[in-house]
Structure 1
Amino acid sequence: MSDGAMSFETPEQVKLINSQIDRFIEQEVKPLEEEYPQFLGEDRERNMVDGDHRLVDEYLELRDKIHQKSVDAGFYTMAMPERVGGGGLNALEDTMVMEHLHNRDPDGYHTLIFDRLSVDHSIIPLYDDDYQREKYFEPVMNAEKHMTFGLTEPDHGSDPTWMDSTAEKGGDEWVINGTKAFISNSVEADFIMVHARTSGEDGDADGISTFLVDRDNPGWEIGKIQRSMGTKQGAQAINHFNDCRVPESQMVGEEGQGFRTAMTWVGAGRLHIPAKAVGISQWMFDRSVEYAENRKTFGEPIGSRQSIQELLVEMRVAIEQVRWLYRYTAWKMDRGEEYRWLQSAAKLQGANLWCDVADNAIQIHGGAGYMKSLPFEGLYRDGRVTRIYEGSDEIQKRTIARRFLDL
């Protein structure tokens, strides 16, 4: 692809990385699945958290082991630019690797190879500041610290520029007050990148600033741990900031320009979602085909029936559509061409793909598909949130509509 033309072949570098990841999973991750079996299978959700709905120490220990192995193998930061010590993968290469990683049995620990909540392009401004690079950036890149991202508020989800959180200057410190909701991994994070208004009016993108708040800051309090529909329990929580004081040195970038940092984080997720969706949907489709060929009722494989064939065809066609939509979008990003409406289209279609394919897989497997002994019901629950976070379906449609409506 060096000549700028879009290729429909998987790049050799991606093939190599994918094969290395497969080997890493076999050699490093699977032994940990035998060591920590309690977080797999039907009882994984209740074993992951304690009576207060916090992730148990054993699970955090497992996570940290895999993260450190991933750092040592060079996978953990491979999507970050080379100038900051990353692997320098471009958007197309990165998303193709994400698809491959998720195209396998979800009852495993392979997704813990990455922590894209912490290791994200939104932390690059930390690299350019000596203090922030040493205290936050490098520990994150080495999996020694984990970050969370505080943007969404109870009354402002899709409209973050109307946020109620404020930060006011008090001497040589900033004093943050406000509440953030649905903040993933905030219960266990070592620090939070929190956004608050420092100037301007509601609805202004300018005037929002970003701050780094450490876990031991007395002004940062974890409120209710929110119990979600999905399988990843202990992940989201309400976060309160009450006269939370941070020094000037912990403002990220320039004052009033934090919304750009926020959109960098959100934008990356919008392309990861369809890549992951294609990977796991392909896996669900392949398992459904096997079942349709082998499961017999009334003396015949259920795959011989038109109704089952229709479900499978819907799945297969939709997977291929989203696969090439997200890859084309990533290719446009790498070329520096206009891609934002395509990014929204890929996220919209990818999120719905995940939900629809999981629903069809459950239907094909019948009563067995509805049970926790098979992974489809869990994938159905996990997929549903992708239609909400990183911009809901409705927000994506609005972005796409603005591309062709001159209003």
Structure 2
Amino acid sequence: MLDRETFGQITETLGRFVAEQLIPAEPAMAEAGAVPPGLIAQMAELGLFGMALPEEWGGLGLTLEEEVELLFILCRASLSFRSVLGINNGVGSYGILRYGSDAQKRRHLPRLASGERIAAFCLTEPDFGSDAASIRTSASRRDGGWVIEGTKRFITNAPEAGVFTVIARSDSGSRDHKGLTAFLVERNTPGLSVGPTDRKLGLAGSHTADVVFSDCRIPEEAILGAEGEGFRIAMSALERGRIGIAASAVGMSLRLIDEALAYAGERRSFGKPIGEHQLVQAMLADSEAEAFAARSMVLEAARRYDAGEPCGKQASCCKLFATEAVGRIADRTLQIFGGAGYMRDYPIEQLYRDVRVLRIYEGTSQIQQLIIARQMMRDGASPLRRQ
């Protein structure tokens, strides 16, 4: 944890960077379909690629609470910017940090923290998304190492990634999560190829693609953690990542509310600013209340995580509520803008499309509902039950 003065300086610097550099670059980024390399270099210089990594590996050493506070600021700009560096701070580095060998940590973490190397996390496949126990990508022993065969789909940062965390089935006789193992596969490994960049509804600056493994041979030391621990590694990384996604939704909610407020003060109808009409005020108020609730939930879950308390259910609550809320806030904001909001002359049209994916990746809203309800049933009812 940083001292408050140092952390305050970081937040002020990031706030200026977002306002003066990232938000003005949104139209050009959307048009080009990529984050400008100069901005990526500036984000690396600010240490944003290593927010969540310890100082010993070149990161900022932030607690999760501090990290989400930075995400509240960073994600006022297009979520494409966060997506470029988010895997390095989340599912792409967490497994290495917690389960990796000393050699794996030395090889990968400093380069991930500096932004020299981009990470990707390969879980989803063409025939499954949420049902991780049905993974078909295989890993079989051969000649003192492993051979991976299969295809991963919708992999964020795949076109740029230098290292891939791959969850594969190492026990061909199993049909559940117990037969899964995690591997670290580097970009230049023969047998690894990346498909064409996907064409998406939003997040123009964030790239996804298929990752194909065909007779992809890796050494024994490429195993991350222990054989059979793949599902555990993936789920623990996703638990932390879901709080980060919720924080991203909060940041974008705040941006959308600011856009709605500014427009409601400028646009006039029936002789006065539309913000003075009660029905518009109701939409503004509902958005503010939901953003406040989501922000409070995220901070509470992050504090629990930092304290070492179980927070899988709380992470899912955050992910469910905050991502559903930002969808409603985006819809209200576009409604306040009216016809103008539907046009590309204003940023709302792009932001509206960008936020839609938040309800899908790192576990859909429906999967979060299942996680929450199942934990509730395990805990049971009690007048002293904590949230």
Contact 1:40–1:108 (8 Å) recurs in 2: no
Residues 1:77 and 2:50 are matched in the alignment? yes
Residue 20 of structure 1 aligns with an amino acid whose one-letter code is: I
The answer (yes or no) to whether the contact 1:33–1:109 under 8 Å persists in 2 is no
* Cα distance, 1:18–1:205 mapped onto 2, change above 3 Å: farther
Find the counterpart in structure 2 of residue 246 from structure 1.
218
| In the alignment, structure 1 residue 45 sits paired with structure 2 residue 30 | yes
Deviation at 1:333, TM superposition (A): 1.7
Gaps of 5+ in 1: 1-10, 49-54
Mapped pair 1:167 → 2:157? no
- My pick for the range that moved more, 256-265 or 188-197, is 256-265
Deviation of 1:200 after TM superposition, in Å, equals 6.0
Per-residue Cα deviation, 1:293-321 (whole angstroms, up to 9, x for no partner): 33211212212222211111110111111
**2-side partners of 1:140 and 1:240: how far apart?**
23
Which stretch shows the higher mean deviation, 226-235 or 197-206? 197-206
Deviation of 1:220 after TM superposition, in Å, equals 0.8
> Judging changes above 3 Å, is the alpha-carbon distance between structure 1 residues 405 and 111 closer, same or farther for their aligned structure 2 residues?
closer
Q: 1:17: which partner in 2? A: 7
Q: Does 1:66 align with 2:66?
A: no
Letter in 2 for 1:93: E
- The 3-state SS of whatever aligns with 1:169 is strand
Aligned equivalent of 2:301: 329
Rate the CA distance shift 1:22–1:373 in 2: closer, same or farther, 3 A: farther
Identity of aligned residues (%): 32
Q: Does 1:391 align with 2:363?
A: yes
Inter-partner Cα distance in structure 1 for 2:86 and 2:333: 28
Instruction: After superposition, give the CA deviation of every residue in 1:268-288 in whole Å (9 maximum; x if it has no partner).
Output: 221012212222212221231
In 1, the alpha carbon distance for the partners of 2:198 and 2:190 equals 21
Residue 266 of structure 1, CA deviation: 1.5
Describe the shift of the 1:108–1:102 C-alpha distance in structure 2 as closer, same or farther (beyond 3 A): closer
Looking at structure 1, the residues matched to 5 and 313 of structure 2 have their Cα atoms a distance apart, in angstroms, of 29
**Structure 1 residue 25: Cα displacement:** 6.2
Secondary structure of the 1:179 match is strand
Task: Please tell me the residue identity of whatever aligns with 2:41.
Answer: K
Q: Structure 1: how far apart are the matches of 2:276 and 2:178?
A: 59
Change (3 A) 1:108 1:279: closer
Describe how 1:154-303 pairs up with structure 2 within 5 A: 154-199=126-171, 203-233=175-205, 235-303=207-275
Seen in structure 2, the aligned counterparts of structure 1 residues 382 and 107 have a Cα distance that, compared at 3 Å, is closer
Cα distance in structure 1, aligned partners of 2:206 and 2:191: 22
Deviations 1:345-370 (A, max 9, x none): 11001101111111111110111111
One of 70, 83, 87 as aligned partner of 1:117:
87
Q: In the aligned structure 1, how far is the partner of 2:40 from the partner of 2:78?
A: 18
Is 1:92 matched with 2:65? yes
Cα offsets for 1:128-154 (capped at 9, x unmatched): 332x23432322223221111111111
Partner of 1:51: none
- Seen in structure 2, the aligned counterparts of structure 1 residues 239 and 91 have a Cα distance that, compared at 3 Å, is same
SS at match of 2:308: coil
Query: Paired residue for 2:121?
Result: 149
Kindly indicate whether residue 375 of structure 2 is the aligned counterpart of residue 403 of structure 1. Answer: yes
How far off is 1:18 after superposition?
Answer: 4.4
312-321 vs 284-293, greater mean Cα deviation: 284-293
- DSSP 3-state at the match of 2:108: helix
Do the aligned partners of residues 108 and 392 (structure 1) sit closer, same or farther apart at CA in structure 2, a change above 3 Å counting? closer
Inter-CA distance 81–46: structure 2 relative to 1 (3 Å threshold): same
Aligned residues of 2:14 and 2:73 also touching (Cα < 8 A): no
TM-score normalised over the length of structure 2: 0.88
Contact 2:78 2:351 (8 Å CA) reproduced: no
Q: Distance in 2 between matches of 1:70 and 1:304?
A: 41
Match of 2:317 in 1: 345
For residues 212-232 of structure 1, the C-alpha deviation after alignment (integer angstroms, 9 at most, x for no partner) is: 222222211112421111132
Relative distance call for 1:14 and 1:177 in structure 2 (3 A) is farther
Give the distance between the partners of 2:360 and 2:81, measured in 1 at CA. 24
CA 1:234 to 1:338, structure 2 compared with 1: closer, same or farther past 3 Å? closer
Would the aligned equivalents of 2:194 and 2:209 in 1 still touch at CA under 8 Å?
Answer: yes
Check conservation: 1:196, 1:208, Cα contact below 8 A: yes
- Counterpart CA distance in 1 for 2:37 and 2:181 is 34
Return the offset for 1:108.
10
8 Å contact from structure 2 (residues 138, 172) kept in 1:
no
The CA deviation string for residues 219-258 of structure 1, in whole angstroms up to 9 with x for no partner, is 1111242111113256111111111100112111211112
Is the 1:107–1:375 contact (alpha carbons within 8 Å) kept by the matching residues of 2?
no
Q: CA RMSD in A?
A: 2.8
The gaps in structure 2 that reach 5 residues or longer are 381-387
* Post-superposition offset of 1:125: 4.6
Please, what TM-score do these two structures have when normalized by structure 1?
Answer: 0.84
| CA distance, structure 2, for counterparts of residue 203 and residue 14 of structure 1 | 49
1:33–1:108 CA contact under 8 A, matched in 2: no
Is the contact made by 1:14 and 1:97 (CA closer than 8 Å) also made in structure 2? no
